Structure 1
Amino acid sequence: MSKLAKLQKLMQAKILLLDGAYGTEFQALGLEEKDYHGDRFASHSVPLQGNHDILCITQPNVVKNVHSSFLEVGSDIICTNTFNANAVSQADYDLQDICGEMNTVAAKIAREAADQHSCNDRPRFVAGSIGPTNRTASLSPDVNQPGYRNITFAELVSAYQDAMQGLVNGGADLFLIETIFDTLNAKAAIYAANQINEKLDDPLPIMISGTITDASGRTLSGQTCEAFLYSIEHANPLISVGLNCALGAEQLRPYVAEMSRLSGAAITVYPNAGLPDAFGEYTQTADVMAATIADYAKNGWLNVIGGCCGTTPKHIAAIAEAIENLKPREVDIGSAPGNLKLSGLEPLSRQEGGLFINVGERTNVTGSARFARLVRENKFDEALSVARQQVENGAQVIDVNMDEGMLDGVEAMRTFLNLIASEPDISRVPIMIDSSKWEIIEAGLRCVQGKAIVNSISLKEGEAQFLEVANKALNYGASMVVMAFDEAGQADSLQRKIEIC
């Protein structure tokens, strides 16, 4: 039985229990700088205290003990101690070159602990933790340069692939892409996971968990729950979606309810132990947190539950007791509404037979002389006003085309879409990336955190080329406009359209 099938079978039988906060446990141990350095990094010149991931190499028994403390109170799934074990985050500690090793060692530690607590009627699983990094792909770190990015999609993919391969080598059962505050980062992680999984006989299921930052109900990069969900559903094989961090269980309640209503996948939730106090401490008791979680389960919202910041084995034990006799949420992939699902910062869905979608096409250099002139003259601020006007006038999707002989189409597409991302009144709607050149389309897909539309692909270059491009677009999570066009030319009759399509 595949890893996916095993987990799905268990999820039908019970609510699965995750673990709690590793950082909370490590901090409680009072570890010092020398403990983080260990023997191997005794001469490392950069301070390492607080870099919990390095403990997998320098203090493996400490990490294993924390895993065991959660397994002993009932965790079905434990997470590897690898939240920041990626080259982007570890560069702060000058440890970016050992991230593959770090992930492999971490997965082996978790695997050993899980196996020691497993039995035939109670298997335990290891989730490879993949954090968001300390960079944002869809936000500029400089308010004076809204189009600037300090990380690229390709750099994120490379860092995530290195980490994920390590997790696979160490024996992880699934990938957990978690604490997502920027969906474009998550899409890079999904892209990496899909690439890794393509090479495996038994692909690792993917759990995805976003972070709603405050009462606005949005991620840090501005997406609503529904828009976020539409943006990440292309992960394959996707076993669950959910929310963690930033908020306590009570504050997360409306968003968990919404995600449970919208998603066809299983639902995973692991809130903080309430909200931090004035000293940054989490003081919500285990019983109080467990009571709210029990209410989640009684409402039929849960398939997997655990804890994030501030949650200890005591919290997980209380949650285990609270949900023991409660049924899991029924998972029905066909239940999610809308056949067409798109997103910018906000969602757009259409059932078959629904109304037309208004596409604004004035941000197209082949269709608007004014827009083409503004782009050629590098007047992107004025070009943005064209997009804004279209949205204000009712466009539900913005079509962006940079196919013009005098332009560097890749750079123009990247620049304009990065600027659009900084304008929430524009980026709230989905983007249609319009080009006859795949390299321009791909540049655009690497800039858009929502679920975009590729316009267009066809069989003009043959079936093999069509399938290659379609699979690439799918790995970026895009919808596609497919033209009735093959190697013999454009369809000019109903019969030809049927033959091609």
Structure 2
Amino acid sequence: MSDRSVRLQALKHALKERILILDGGMGTMIQSYKLEEQDYRGKRFADWPSDVKGNNDLLILTRPDVIGSIEKAYLDAGADILETNTFNATQVSQADYGMQDLAYELNVEGARLARKVADAKTLETPDKPRFVAGVLGPTSRTCSLSPDVNNPGYRNVTFDELVENYTEATKGLIEGGADLILIETIFDTLNAKAAIFAVQGVYEELGVELPIMISGTITDASGRTLSGQTTEAFWNSVAHAKPISVGLNCALGASELRPYLEELSNKAGTYVSAHPNAGLPNEFGEYDELPSETAKVIEEFAQSGFLNIVGGCCGTTPGHIEAIAKAVAGYAPRAIPEIPKACRLSGLEPFTIDRSSLFVNVGERTNITGSAKFARLIRDDNYTEALEVALQQVEAGAQVIDINMDEGMLDSKKAMVTFLNLIAGEPDISRVPIMIDSSKWEVIEAGLKCIQGKGIVNSISMKEGVEQFIQHAKLCKRYGAAVVVMAFDEAGQADTEARKKEICKRSYDILVNDVGFPPEDIIFDPNIFAVATGIEEHNNYAVDFINACAYIRDELPYALTSGGVSNVSFSFRGNNPVREAIHSVFLLYAIRNGLTMGIVNAGQLEIYDQIPAELRDAVEDVILNRTPEGTDALLAIADKTRATAASRKPRPKSGATGTSTSAWSTHWSRASPPISSKTPKSRASRSPGRSKSSKAR
């Protein structure tokens, strides 16, 4: 067993036994040495063409004695985990000094120096081994925000550029001897997702896997990161990294950090860390909070059961760390709570879906194939009005918005990136999760590189074979996205109940057993096809879909279901009153049988009980395939229904009053048995509470 493996076993054991101590502020201590330009330059960089004072990472090479002494002081104060002095050791950050070519060396030497100091301390206290956390800082740029207020879609760094930066840095930290990788001071979650993507890629390439620590930063009293996410939304966005710990650091002092740390400790199914500032800075940017004051607040954190790892950030010194270590020594570490499995999505705010959730409305009007208006706006590069369409969907009750840019005459990838970047600057839209919808993998992947939250990919399938299916699933997992899985395999699209069940079961087994995909993040789309087309083979399509949903609910643990609801009424395109009635009736039975979410127009859903009785009866005959004459009967009243609706005063729909789809689905049970087609037609069977196909309420 390697030395690193031994240390990792010791780390895991220690985390179960006590609250571990992280070190304190590096910059604070460097400032106390009052170093000058020549200290930063040393002999090697004596002739460097620009000033380098302030490049603290460079001191690893030019004043390792200073960095080493600071690190030793923190270990002497009681720290268990030593952070490498590599906060800005990426090309994008070192470019500020023209030193981007030093990035790899800085990470290697930074880890080596910390390793040397930690190992020396371990020799002094063999019963208390010390660990090295290789630090990946946030960089000096943001991937989900524009630095230009006049151009909200502009980015001065891309996801791919960050991945390249973090890949190089991670390899250097591993080579230098780090025990863990700490992605810290996250103010933009998309930067952190790029770091996670890079770290996991390095692990796969090198055949090693170190624990990952993740720490975000709440920037002010709003309780959000700089890029706008709440604490829970941030956790949902990075949980796919399966970090050994998640925490908060910097920006705020311990007192101000408390409510957000408490929230994280309740939500996170892993260890929780905190390394706050020594209070808030004074008017000179200095920190006045005494070690005893910081320690008193943090002791209450430990007493409340919030902590597994604790240290300090800006303004903290070895004195603070010593006081903190003594303050928490008598308290047990936080017990990791049992977090129920659920699909935990996020935009700027969290959104959770599980089997007990009400029906989830996925707004369809930002789908270029589902809205002629949206398609026109995108073709005309009128993104300002296109954003208004997205906003209208959210305001009308959409809890997720589906974005699709697939059109032959359009650069779909460019359009997807442009629109998502613009949405990121609109908090009233970006507060909800995004569903990235495309039949082209390159468009899906481009979209995943633009969203800081945890979204949904729509879709992947076995259409092109199992190998590609697995490849796409693994990438979705690394990007931290849930997936819609179409009931499609090498033989084609599932159209019967039996085929839907067969493909969904096979897909589920591959994803869960071979890929290790979280089952709660799998959303099956068993294919909604049009009914009432005049073709007899199509008459049972709605029943087949509804029964497939029931099968998935009952036989595929934690998996969810979805569908493009407008497909079922496609044979009545142009007749909106009939289409809305079809959607309402279809949803009633589908939701009762397990349908979790649907892609619908959030502002146009008819209330079931408000559908005229004659129309409702005819639609139910078609949806449930209760009679061979169902299509003819519905066609016979379709034109009359359209004319009546045109002369009637408009009634508020579910979204028109600001009420989400879930508001009118509260009475729809998910416990119904499968539907049998061609059941006897009776007045009793038409009541939503007494349907023979849906007895359970």
Structure 2 residue 442 is the aligned partner of structure 1 residue 436: no
**Equivalent residue in structure 1 for 2:173, among 160, 163, 167:** 167
User: How far apart, CA to CA, are the structure 2 residues paired with 1:240 and 1:352?
Assistant: 28
Paired residues of 1:244 and 1:272 also in contact (CA < 8 A)? yes
Q: Deviations over 1:109-163 (max 9, x none)?
A: 0000000011442111000111100100000000100000000000000011111
Query: Are 1:376 and 2:379 counterparts?
Result: yes
- Structure 1, residues 347-373: CA drift from partner, whole Å, max 9, x if none? 000232321111001001111111001
User: Which deviates further from its counterpart, 343-352 or 420-429?
Assistant: 343-352
Superposition pairs of residues 34-433 of structure 1, within 5 angstroms: 34-118=38-122, 119-236=125-242, 238-332=243-337, 335-337=338-340, 339-433=342-436
Query: Any idea what SS the aligned residue of 1:358 has?
Result: strand
The answer to whether the 8 Å contact 1:4/1:239 transfers is no
CA displacement, residues 421-463 of structure 1 (integer Å, 9 cap, x when unaligned): 0000000000000000010001100000000100000011111
How far is the alpha carbon of 1:46 from its aligned partner? 1.2
Q: Does the CA contact (< 8 Å) of 2:50 and 2:97 recur in 1? A: yes
Given the alignment of the two structures, is residue 10 of structure 1 paired with residue 9 of structure 2, yes or no?
A: no
**2 CA distance for matches of 1:228 and 1:217?**
11
**Alignment partner, residue 455 of structure 1:** 458
Shift of 1:475: 0.8
For residues 295-315 of structure 1, the C-alpha deviation after alignment (integer angstroms, 9 at most, x for no partner) is 000111100000000000000
Tell me, in whole angstroms, the C-alpha distance in 2 between the residues paired with 1:321 and 1:312.
14
Using the alignment, how far apart are the partners of 1:6 and 1:100 within structure 2?
Answer: 28
CA displacement, residues 243-269 of structure 1 (integer Å, 9 cap, x when unaligned): 000000000000000000000010010
Give 1:45 deviation, angstroms.
1.0
SS in structure 2 of the partner of residue 275 of structure 1: coil
Query: Counterpart in 2 of 1:27?
Result: 31
- Matched AA of 1:319: I
Extract unaligned runs of 5+ from structure 1.
none
1:193-235, CA deviations, whole angstroms, 9 ceiling, x for partnerless residues?
Answer: 1101113444111000000011100000000000000000011
* CA distance, structure 2, for counterparts of residue 128 and residue 285 of structure 1: 28
User: Which gives a bigger RCO, structure 1 or 2 (Cα 8 Å, sep 6+)?
Assistant: 1
Determine helix, strand or coil for the equivalent of 2:251: strand
- Displacement of 1:496 in angstroms is 2.2
How far apart, in 1, do the equivalents of 2:246 and 2:254 lie?
16
Q: Which residue does 2:518 correspond to in 1? A: none
Match of 1:500 in 2: 503
Amino acid of the residue matched to residue 480 of structure 2?
Answer: G
After superposing the two structures, state which structure 1 stretch, 23-32 or 4-13, moved more: 4-13
State the distance in 2 between where 1:482 and 1:357 align.
17
* Local SS of the residue matching 2:152: coil
**Aligned partner letter, 2:270:** A
- Is 2:10–2:129's contact at 8 Å kept on the other side of the alignment? no
Which deviates further from its counterpart, 3-12 or 275-284? 3-12
* CA distance in structure 2 between the aligned counterparts of 1:201 and 1:66, rounded to whole angstroms: 33
What is the Cα deviation at residue 374 of structure 1? 0.4
Shift of 1:492: 2.6
Asked whether the equivalents of residues 78 and 110 of structure 1 are also in contact (C-alpha less than 8 Å), the reply is yes
How far residue 4 of structure 1 moved from its aligned partner, in angstroms, is: 5.1
Residue 472 of structure 2, aligned match among 440, 461, 469: 469
* Conserved 8 A contact 2:234-2:453: yes
Secondary structure (helix, strand or coil) at the match of 2:360 reads coil
Give the C-alpha shift of residue 62 in structure 1. 1.0
Q: Which 10-residue stretch deviates more, 202-211 or 266-275?
A: 202-211
User: How far 1:337 moved relative to its partner?
Assistant: 4.6
> Gaps (5+ residues) in structure 2?
505-697
Q: Distance in 2 between matches of 1:135 and 1:489?
A: 45
Amino acid in structure 1 at the alignment position of 2:43: D
Cα RMSD (Å)? 1.1
